[in-house]
Amino acid sequence: MTMLDLSILPDIALSGYEPAFDEPWQAQAFAMTVNLHQSGLFEWKEWANVLSTEVHSGIDRDYYLHWLRALERIVAMKHLATVSELGNCAKAWQEAAERTPHGETISL
C-alpha cells in the first residue's frame, strides 16, 4: 500500500512518519478516512482542506476530535450519510451500550 503524504495535514502529530494515536477510536477514524480516499470518494488534498477548516476553527478541542468532526462533515458533503443519520445512529449505539450488560454483545 502506498503511504499517503500525511505531512500536508495541518498540525498532525507525527512520530517519525507515523500518526500518534492516544486511543483506539482515533486510529479507527484515521483509517476510515484513508479508506474513503482510497475508494476515490475524495482527494487527499480535499480532505486536508476540510480538516484544516476544523483545526483552524478557533474551537479548542483535541486534534482527533477535530478530525472526527471533519470526517463527519466530508461524509455529509459527499452525500455518503446525512448528519441526522449519523446522529441517530450514534445515539442508538449509546443507548444499546447502556442497556447491554458488560461482556454481552452490543447490537442495535
Partner 1 sequence: MSVKHDHDDHSHMTETEARVRALETLLSAKGYIDSAAVDRIIQTYETKIGPQNGAHVVAKSWCDPEFAAWLRRDATAAIHSLGYISRQGEHMEAVFNSDDVHHLTVCTLCSCYPWSVLGLPPTWYKSPPFRSRAVIDPRGVLREFGLDLPTTTKVEVHDSTAEIRYLVIPQRPAGTEGFSEDQLVQLVTRDTMIGTAVALLPEGVA
Query: CA dist 70 to 63, 88, 104, Å?
Result: 11, 18, 32
C-alpha cell at 83: 448528519
Question: Tell me, what DSSP letter sits at residue 95?
Answer: H
Q: Which is nearer to partner 1, 38 or 57 (CB)?
A: 38
The answer to whether residue 85 forms part of the interface with partner 1 (CB under 8 A) is yes
C-alpha cell at 86: 449519523
CB 84 within 8 A of CB 73: no
The answer to whether residue 23 forms part of the interface with partner 1 (CB under 8 A) is yes
Q: What letter represents residue 64's amino acid?
A: Y
x/- track of binding to partner 1 for residues 24-63 (CB under 8 A): xx-xxxxxx-xxx-xx-x----------------------
User: Which residues contact partner 1 (rule: CB under 8 A)?
Assistant: 1, 3, 15, 18-25, 27-32, 34-36, 38-39, 41, 65, 68, 71-72, 75, 80-81, 85-87, 89-94, 97-108
